[in-house]
Amino acid sequence: MFLSPKEKESRFRAVRRQMAEQGVDALIARGSSAVRGDGAAFRYLTDFPNINIPLVLIFFRATGEAPILLVESRFQAMRAEKTSWAGDIRLSNNFFQSLTEVLKEKKLDQAAIGIDGLHNFPYLWGQRIEEMFPGVTLTEFGPALKKLRAYRTSEEIKLVKKSAALVDRAFIEGIKSIKPGKTEWEVMARMDYLLKSQGVEKTFNIISQGPKVDAYVPSARRIKKKGMVFTEITANYGGFWTQLARAVSLGKPDSKLVKLHQGAVKAIKEALPYLKPGNKVAQPMSVMEQSVKDSGLGCMPVYGHIVGIDMVEDRPSPQNQSEIVPGMVFIVHPWPTLDGSSLLWGETYLITEKGNQRLNKVGDELRAL
């Protein structure tokens, strides 16, 4: 576990306080990898670095009730006993049946049950629960948990900063493997090694060579002698994601790449004064978009993402009217285009009390290899 017992108790109190406000007696969270909404609440409530294995957590408003974690195998149970906050770990070969047994055991037949992501909750599970327990009410609790996750505590900030430092190192050392004749797989394997050998749990890395960013899974294609090579390095350390998007040039960069790079860097710099508490997310994103256009470039409608335990907690855009608050973590990456060429460029920022702090220390220069 990366977080302290103090952090655990702080999270539990916050969740139970929110449950009390909404009249929720128990909470069900499912999930696995905490990517795109899958498992972020689960990780928040367990600090369990579970990857791609479906599990079910039942969390109770009553302070005397330990959270119950349902697992499929003894291996999962052993891992959870060592690395999770769940106080009651139970083997199950039928999650639904085990869930209903817990509802009976804890006398929740007349309870309000909060669901993390009611729209993703198995339809038949919901239907059967309502048939078996006519007094039970299933209610959406995901937004409340998402709001709680938006704030970074001092312990969490240390993990976020460590994540960003490891991403920087993977870029600085990893681009040394970008050489003509190497496959994309080889380059990605090197970057993955640099990250995972330092304790990174999960990565989401992209590499592509050509005049435009091509966000696809790395392949056996070999690096050519000249041209732009785009890299996006995204890592989860201690449960928190950070990202660095950069391009390097094999040989002298062409004029299009230079203009795209200049436009992207300028757009971020002009947007940063607006990336601060009290503003709406739309404000810095609108400034960034307009800056790209003012540079005579096209602008793809991709501006970055708000990250945390989930790699995409929210999508920042000129239309997003959510308020920026201290503790949020933004990945800011404009995506300018020019005559068939494009470049996605950006890094990770922590929202502070008065503004923002850049977490990636890699500079803004366009590197030639």
Q: How far apart are CA 255 and CA 12, in angstroms?
A: 54
pLDDT at 358 over 70: yes
User: Could you tell me if 285 and 318 are in contact, meaning their C-beta atoms sit under 8 angstroms apart?
Assistant: yes
Do 5-149 and 154-368 show the same overall fold?
no
Read off the DSSP letter of residue 229. E
pLDDT at 328 over 70: yes
Q: How confident is the model at residue 38 (pLDDT cuts 50, 70, 90)?
A: low
Read off the DSSP letter of residue 222. B
* pLDDT above 70 coverage of the chain, percent: 95
**What is the pLDDT of the chain when averaged over all its residues?**
92
Mean pLDDT of 269-281: 97
pTM listed for this prediction:
0.92
Q: How far apart are CA 187 and CA 176, in angstroms?
A: 9
Residue 217: what pLDDT? 67
Task: Work out the number of other CB atoms within 10 angstroms of the CB of residue 361.
Answer: 13
What are the tens digits of pLDDT across the range 89-114? 999 999 999 999 999 999 999 999 99
Structure tokens at 302: 């991709």
Residue 213: what pLDDT? 75
Residues 154-368: name the CATH superfamily: Creatinase/methionine aminopeptidase superfamily (3.90.230.10)
- 5-149, what's its fold? Creatine Amidinohydrolase; Chain A, domain 1 (3.40.350)
Q: How far apart are CA 267 and CA 333, in angstroms?
A: 9
pLDDT at 53 over 90: no
Q: How far apart are CA 97 and CA 109, in angstroms?
A: 15
Look up tokens 């702090």; give the residue.
357
Residue 32: what pLDDT? 59
Look up tokens 């990857």; give the residue.
51
Q: Where are the domains of the chain?
A: 5-149, 154-368
Q: How far is CA 97 from CA 21, 91, 112, in A?
A: 29, 12, 19
Q: How far apart are CA 75 and CA 72, in angstroms?
A: 9
Structure tokens at 84: 């999770």
Residue 29, C-beta contacts closer than 8 angstroms, at least 6 positions apart? 41, 42, 45, 56, 57, 59, 116, 145
Residue 34: what pLDDT? 45
What are the tens digits of pLDDT across the range 158-195? 999 999 999 999 999 999 999 999 998 999 999 999 99
